[in-house]
Amino acid sequence: MRSSYLFRRWSAVLVFGTAIACGCRPAKAQSDPGLEHVLDLMDKARESFRSAEASLVWDVYTSVVQETDTQKGKVSYRRQGNETQMALEFTDPSPKYVVFMGGKLQLFEPRLNRVTVYDAQKNQGEVESFLVLGFGGGGHVLEKSYDLKYLGTEKVAGVDAVKLGLVPKNPKVLNMFPNIVLWIDPVRGISVQQQFFQQGGDYRLSKYSDIQLNRKIPDSVFKLKTDGKTSFQSMSPHD
């Protein structure tokens, strides 16, 4: 159960720290025409991307007990200058908030009235690329960090989505997530579903719906609603 707990509590924080801990192998050239087409679509989407909002369902499966924990909420992205900011708001079964901006990733747990902060300013570009996976981050840039494979098409939430298989080149990310699958809307060039597999059969399935692109998102979405009694703690890549 400890693995499931860590996945639920820290997958939004830990992975972004470990993902930047060491270098990646050189990218391999890709020649699959299906793959190239999808990456081109994602590159085109990046050119016009300003913001995105979507309803989000996280299904976290723990293989040892064969149980699935579901979290529901909303995710928001916006591009500010050269930076892409992200905000996650989980409302069910318990409130949690994650914000990435200014090179800092913050997890706010209202029931504990605690904010955990990971400072990623030295590696902001790498962290950001992981955060925006499938949402305005581009296509061919993925080749720097992943071995990619075109997996055909599959109907997801009414969309004839294109499936991409990603195998991380970074050994630490590979140890945490040996396989990632993205389902890409071929019309909009963005992700409608993602699955992150862990060692041992655990996984997180992220399902996006009601996706709205390029609408103005209020600044308040990217601000944690803390108070004078909120405690703050910092986390290093080695925690």
Q: pLDDT of the chain along its 239 residues, tens only? A: 433 443 444 454 444 443 333 334 434 444 688 899 999 999 999 999 999 999 999 999 999 999 999 999 999 999 988 888 999 999 999 999 999 988 889 999 999 999 999 887 776 666 666 777 888 888 998 998 899 999 999 999 899 999 999 998 988 788 888 999 999 999 999 999 999 999 889 999 999 999 999 999 999 999 999 999 999 999 765 55
Q: What is the pLDDT of residue 6?
A: 38
Is residue 239, in this structure, part of any structural domain at all? no
Is residue 37, in this structure, part of any structural domain at all? yes
Is residue 238, in this structure, part of any structural domain at all? no
Helix then strand count (H, E) for the chain reads 5, 12
| Residue 76 β-bridge partners | 53, 87
Is residue 135, in this structure, part of any structural domain at all? yes
Is residue 235, in this structure, part of any structural domain at all? no
Are 205 and 59 within 8 A, CB to CB? yes
Are 28 and 49 within 8 A, CB to CB? no
Task: Tell me the per-residue pLDDT of 144-174, one tens digit each, with 9 for 90 and over.
Answer: 889 999 999 999 989 999 999 999 898 878 8
Is residue 47, in this structure, part of any structural domain at all? yes
Is residue 51, in this structure, part of any structural domain at all? yes
Domain that holds residue 161: 2-224
Q: What is the pLDDT of residue 205?
A: 95
Q: Are strands 231-235 and 203-213 parallel, antiparallel or unpaired?
A: unpaired
Count of other CB atoms within 10 angstroms of residue 67:
11
Task: Calculate the alpha carbon distances from 229 to 3, 95, 102, 184, 232 in Å.
Answer: 30, 17, 23, 42, 10
Look at the chain and report how many structural domains it folds into: 1
Instruction: Determine the distance from the C-alpha atom of residue 86 to the mean position of all C-alpha atoms in its chain, rounded to a whole number.
Output: 9
| Closest to 167 in 3D by CA, of 12, 28, 20 | 28
Q: What is the pLDDT of residue 124?
A: 63
Is residue 142, in this structure, part of any structural domain at all? yes
pTM (two decimals): 0.82
| Closest to 144 in 3D by CA, of 117, 168, 179 | 168
Q: What is the CATH number of the domain that holds 135?
A: 2.50.20.10
